[in-house]
Amino acid sequence: MADPTPDERLQKEFNQWAQAGEGEKMERHHLDITEKTIRHMQLRPGERVLDLGCGSGWATRLLARLVSDGPEGFWQVVGLDVSDEMFRQARGASKDFENILYVWGSAEKIPWEENFFDKVLSVESFYYYPDQDRALMELFRVMAPRGRMFILINLYKDNEYSLQWVPKLKVPVHVRSKDEYIELLKKHAFEKVEAVQIPDDTPTPENYKTTSFHSLDDLKAFKRVGALLLMASKPDLRTPAPGYTVY
Protein backbone atom coordinates (compact mmCIF):
# COMPACT_ATOMS: atom_id res chain seq x y z
CA MET A 1 0.00 0.00 0.00
CA ALA A 2 1.26 3.50 -0.84
CA ASP A 3 2.45 5.70 2.01
CA PRO A 4 -0.21 8.19 3.14
CA THR A 5 0.14 11.69 1.73
CA PRO A 6 0.76 14.53 4.24
CA ASP A 7 -2.92 15.52 3.95
CA GLU A 8 -4.03 11.94 4.61
CA ARG A 9 -1.88 11.87 7.75
CA LEU A 10 -3.51 15.10 8.93
CA GLN A 11 -6.94 13.74 8.09
CA LYS A 12 -6.31 10.58 10.14
CA GLU A 13 -4.89 12.47 13.11
CA PHE A 14 -7.67 15.05 13.25
CA ASN A 15 -10.36 12.44 12.69
CA GLN A 16 -9.08 10.87 15.91
CA TRP A 17 -9.23 14.25 17.66
CA ALA A 18 -12.81 14.67 16.45
CA GLN A 19 -13.84 11.19 17.58
CA ALA A 20 -12.35 11.91 21.01
CA GLY A 21 -14.51 15.05 21.31
CA GLU A 22 -11.56 17.46 20.92
CA GLY A 23 -13.30 19.47 18.20
CA GLU A 24 -15.85 20.82 20.65
CA LYS A 25 -13.36 21.19 23.50
CA MET A 26 -11.22 23.50 21.37
CA GLU A 27 -13.95 26.11 21.56
CA ARG A 28 -13.16 26.54 25.26
CA HIS A 29 -9.43 26.84 24.60
CA HIS A 30 -9.62 29.18 21.61
CA LEU A 31 -12.73 31.28 22.24
CA ASP A 32 -11.09 34.22 24.04
CA ILE A 33 -8.33 34.75 21.45
CA THR A 34 -10.75 34.13 18.57
CA GLU A 35 -13.25 36.72 19.82
CA LYS A 36 -10.42 39.25 20.07
CA THR A 37 -9.36 38.34 16.53
CA ILE A 38 -12.90 38.70 15.21
CA ARG A 39 -12.93 42.26 16.57
CA HIS A 40 -9.93 42.99 14.34
CA MET A 41 -11.83 41.56 11.35
CA GLN A 42 -14.46 44.34 11.34
CA LEU A 43 -16.99 42.07 9.65
CA ARG A 44 -19.93 43.56 7.83
CA PRO A 45 -23.21 41.94 6.79
CA GLY A 46 -22.90 40.39 3.36
CA GLU A 47 -19.16 39.74 3.48
CA ARG A 48 -17.91 36.39 2.23
CA VAL A 49 -15.72 34.67 4.79
CA LEU A 50 -13.58 31.54 4.77
CA ASP A 51 -12.82 29.70 8.03
CA LEU A 52 -9.73 27.71 7.12
CA GLY A 53 -9.20 24.61 9.27
CA CYS A 54 -12.62 25.14 10.84
CA GLY A 55 -12.65 22.02 13.05
CA SER A 56 -16.08 21.49 14.61
CA GLY A 57 -17.28 24.82 13.21
CA TRP A 58 -17.94 26.83 16.38
CA ALA A 59 -16.00 29.85 15.03
CA THR A 60 -17.65 29.44 11.62
CA ARG A 61 -21.00 29.90 13.34
CA LEU A 62 -19.77 33.03 15.14
CA LEU A 63 -18.72 34.44 11.76
CA ALA A 64 -22.01 33.45 10.14
CA ARG A 65 -24.00 35.42 12.72
CA LEU A 66 -21.90 38.51 12.08
CA VAL A 67 -22.26 38.53 8.29
CA SER A 68 -25.89 37.39 8.04
CA ASP A 69 -28.64 39.63 6.64
CA GLY A 70 -26.41 40.55 3.74
CA PRO A 71 -27.49 40.72 0.14
CA GLU A 72 -25.64 37.53 -0.77
CA GLY A 73 -28.04 35.22 1.03
CA PHE A 74 -26.57 31.74 1.05
CA TRP A 75 -23.04 30.55 1.65
CA GLN A 76 -21.49 33.71 2.91
CA VAL A 77 -19.32 31.65 5.21
CA VAL A 78 -17.39 28.60 4.07
CA GLY A 79 -15.73 26.30 6.60
CA LEU A 80 -12.98 24.10 5.20
CA ASP A 81 -11.26 21.23 6.98
CA VAL A 82 -9.04 18.33 5.96
CA SER A 83 -10.68 16.03 8.53
CA ASP A 84 -13.92 14.53 7.23
CA GLU A 85 -14.96 13.73 10.80
CA MET A 86 -14.56 17.38 11.87
CA PHE A 87 -16.45 18.34 8.71
CA ARG A 88 -19.34 16.00 9.62
CA GLN A 89 -19.51 17.31 13.18
CA ALA A 90 -19.42 20.93 11.97
CA ARG A 91 -22.20 20.31 9.46
CA GLY A 92 -24.33 18.46 12.03
CA ALA A 93 -24.04 21.33 14.51
CA SER A 94 -24.87 24.04 11.96
CA LYS A 95 -28.21 22.84 10.58
CA ASP A 96 -29.91 26.08 11.61
CA PHE A 97 -27.52 28.22 9.56
CA GLU A 98 -28.52 28.90 6.00
CA ASN A 99 -25.43 30.97 5.26
CA ILE A 100 -22.77 28.34 6.05
CA LEU A 101 -21.33 25.77 3.69
CA TYR A 102 -18.79 23.27 4.96
CA VAL A 103 -16.30 21.80 2.55
CA TRP A 104 -14.01 18.85 3.09
CA GLY A 105 -10.61 19.60 1.60
CA SER A 106 -7.07 20.81 2.08
CA ALA A 107 -5.72 24.31 2.61
CA GLU A 108 -3.16 23.42 -0.04
CA LYS A 109 -5.84 22.87 -2.67
CA ILE A 110 -8.82 25.03 -1.72
CA PRO A 111 -11.83 23.83 -3.72
CA TRP A 112 -13.12 27.31 -4.47
CA GLU A 113 -13.06 29.94 -7.20
CA GLU A 114 -10.67 32.88 -7.56
CA ASN A 115 -11.16 36.35 -6.04
CA PHE A 116 -14.06 35.34 -3.78
CA PHE A 117 -13.50 35.82 -0.04
CA ASP A 118 -13.52 39.27 1.58
CA LYS A 119 -12.11 37.92 4.84
CA VAL A 120 -10.33 34.76 5.93
CA LEU A 121 -10.04 33.47 9.49
CA SER A 122 -7.81 30.57 10.45
CA VAL A 123 -7.62 29.51 14.09
CA GLU A 124 -4.80 27.26 15.24
CA SER A 125 -4.45 25.43 11.97
CA PHE A 126 -1.80 27.10 9.81
CA TYR A 127 1.28 25.57 11.46
CA TYR A 128 0.04 22.08 10.57
CA TYR A 129 0.07 22.71 6.81
CA PRO A 130 2.99 20.75 5.40
CA ASP A 131 3.48 23.21 2.53
CA GLN A 132 2.70 26.65 3.92
CA ASP A 133 3.87 28.32 0.70
CA ARG A 134 1.30 26.34 -1.26
CA ALA A 135 -1.43 27.26 1.26
CA LEU A 136 -0.56 30.95 0.98
CA MET A 137 -0.71 30.78 -2.82
CA GLU A 138 -4.15 29.22 -2.51
CA LEU A 139 -5.30 31.87 -0.05
CA PHE A 140 -4.06 34.61 -2.36
CA ARG A 141 -5.97 32.99 -5.24
CA VAL A 142 -9.33 32.66 -3.48
CA MET A 143 -9.24 36.02 -1.70
CA ALA A 144 -11.04 38.98 -3.22
CA PRO A 145 -9.00 41.99 -4.30
CA ARG A 146 -8.23 43.89 -1.05
CA GLY A 147 -9.53 40.92 0.95
CA ARG A 148 -7.92 40.53 4.37
CA MET A 149 -6.82 37.41 6.21
CA PHE A 150 -6.41 36.77 9.93
CA ILE A 151 -4.26 33.81 10.91
CA LEU A 152 -4.09 32.93 14.59
CA ILE A 153 -1.13 30.83 15.69
CA ASN A 154 -0.54 29.51 19.19
CA LEU A 155 2.68 27.70 18.40
CA TYR A 156 5.54 30.02 17.51
CA LYS A 157 9.09 30.69 18.62
CA ASP A 158 8.40 33.97 20.43
CA ASN A 159 6.13 32.17 22.91
CA GLU A 160 8.74 29.83 24.35
CA TYR A 161 6.10 28.04 26.48
CA SER A 162 4.25 26.87 23.37
CA LEU A 163 7.32 24.87 22.31
CA GLN A 164 6.61 22.44 25.17
CA TRP A 165 3.89 20.70 23.16
CA VAL A 166 5.86 20.05 19.99
CA PRO A 167 7.18 16.64 21.12
CA LYS A 168 3.64 15.63 22.16
CA LEU A 169 2.16 16.16 18.70
CA LYS A 170 1.81 13.14 16.39
CA VAL A 171 2.09 15.12 13.16
CA PRO A 172 4.90 17.43 12.02
CA VAL A 173 4.45 21.16 12.56
CA HIS A 174 6.20 24.36 11.54
CA VAL A 175 7.74 26.42 14.31
CA ARG A 176 8.52 29.91 13.04
CA SER A 177 9.01 33.28 14.70
CA LYS A 178 6.82 36.33 14.30
CA ASP A 179 9.44 37.93 12.03
CA GLU A 180 9.76 34.79 9.91
CA TYR A 181 6.00 34.70 9.39
CA ILE A 182 5.96 38.37 8.41
CA GLU A 183 8.68 37.69 5.82
CA LEU A 184 6.77 34.66 4.51
CA LEU A 185 3.58 36.66 3.95
CA LYS A 186 5.46 39.48 2.24
CA LYS A 187 7.22 36.96 -0.02
CA HIS A 188 3.76 35.92 -1.23
CA ALA A 189 2.95 39.51 -2.21
CA PHE A 190 0.50 40.15 0.62
CA GLU A 191 0.22 43.81 1.65
CA LYS A 192 -0.40 45.59 4.94
CA VAL A 193 1.21 42.71 6.81
CA GLU A 194 0.85 43.11 10.57
CA ALA A 195 1.46 40.83 13.54
CA VAL A 196 0.16 41.33 17.06
CA GLN A 197 0.17 39.15 20.14
CA ILE A 198 -3.20 38.27 21.62
CA PRO A 199 -3.13 37.22 25.28
CA ASP A 200 -5.66 34.69 26.51
CA ASP A 201 -7.39 36.29 29.52
CA THR A 202 -9.45 33.29 30.60
CA PRO A 203 -8.74 32.37 34.23
CA THR A 204 -6.84 29.13 34.87
CA PRO A 205 -8.40 27.16 37.74
CA GLU A 206 -5.81 26.19 40.39
CA ASN A 207 -6.89 22.53 40.20
CA TYR A 208 -6.57 22.42 36.37
CA LYS A 209 -4.58 19.39 35.21
CA THR A 210 -2.37 20.24 32.25
CA THR A 211 -0.93 17.52 30.05
CA SER A 212 0.51 19.91 27.46
CA PHE A 213 2.67 22.05 29.76
CA HIS A 214 5.34 21.23 32.34
CA SER A 215 3.43 23.12 35.04
CA LEU A 216 0.38 25.27 35.67
CA ASP A 217 2.67 28.31 35.89
CA ASP A 218 3.95 27.57 32.38
CA LEU A 219 0.38 27.31 31.11
CA LYS A 220 -0.44 30.69 32.70
CA ALA A 221 2.71 32.23 31.19
CA PHE A 222 1.79 30.78 27.78
CA LYS A 223 -1.61 32.47 27.99
CA ARG A 224 -0.07 35.76 29.13
CA VAL A 225 2.38 35.88 26.21
CA GLY A 226 -0.50 34.95 23.96
CA ALA A 227 -1.10 33.81 20.43
CA LEU A 228 0.32 35.39 17.31
CA LEU A 229 -2.24 37.04 15.06
CA LEU A 230 -1.02 37.59 11.51
CA MET A 231 -3.01 40.01 9.39
CA ALA A 232 -2.46 40.70 5.70
CA SER A 233 -4.32 41.93 2.62
CA LYS A 234 -4.38 40.79 -0.97
CA PRO A 235 -3.46 43.71 -3.25
CA ASP A 236 -6.17 45.33 -5.33
CA LEU A 237 -5.87 42.88 -8.19
CA ARG A 238 -7.80 39.96 -9.61
CA THR A 239 -6.13 36.58 -9.91
CA PRO A 240 -6.77 35.10 -13.37
CA ALA A 241 -8.65 31.82 -13.48
CA PRO A 242 -6.52 28.81 -14.52
CA GLY A 243 -6.17 28.65 -18.30
CA TYR A 244 -6.98 32.34 -18.68
CA THR A 245 -4.72 33.89 -21.32
CA VAL A 246 -4.59 37.46 -22.60
CA TYR A 247 -3.87 37.61 -26.35
Ligand X SMILES: C[S@@+](CC[C@H](N)C(=O)[O-])C[C@H]1O[C@@H](n2cnc3c(N)ncnc32)[C@H](O)[C@@H]1O
> Site mask, ligand X, residues 126-145, x = CB under 6 A?
--xx----------------
Contact 221, 161 (CB under 8 A): yes
Nearest one of 193, 74, 55 to 124, comparing CA atoms? 55
Contact between 82 and ligand X by CB under 6 A: the answer reads yes
CA gyration radius, the chain: 18
- Per CB under 6 A, which of residues 155..184 are in contact with ligand X? none
Q: Of 51-59, 140-148, 179-187, 217-225, which part binds ligand X (CB under 6 A)?
A: 51-59
CA distance 154 to 171: 16
State the minimum distance, in angstroms, from the CB of residue 245 to ligand X. Answer: 30
Q: Of 37-45, 62-70, 121-129, 141-149, which part binds ligand X (CB under 6 A)?
A: 121-129
Contact 162, 152 (CB under 8 A): no
Quick one: 197 exposed, middle or buried, by C-beta within 10 A (0-12, 13-18, 19+)? middle
Of the candidates 7, 32, 158, 194, which one interacts with ligand X according to CB under 6 A? 7
> Site mask, ligand X, residues 100-119, x = CB under 6 A?
------xxx-----------
State the minimum distance, in angstroms, from the CB of residue 165 to ligand X. Answer: 11
Of the candidates 37, 76, 94, 125, which one interacts with ligand X according to CB under 6 A? 125
- Strands (E) across 17-114 are located at 49-52, 77-81, 100-104
Total of residues contacting ligand X (CB under 6 A): 22
Angle between helices 132-142 and 178-187 (to 10 degrees): 50
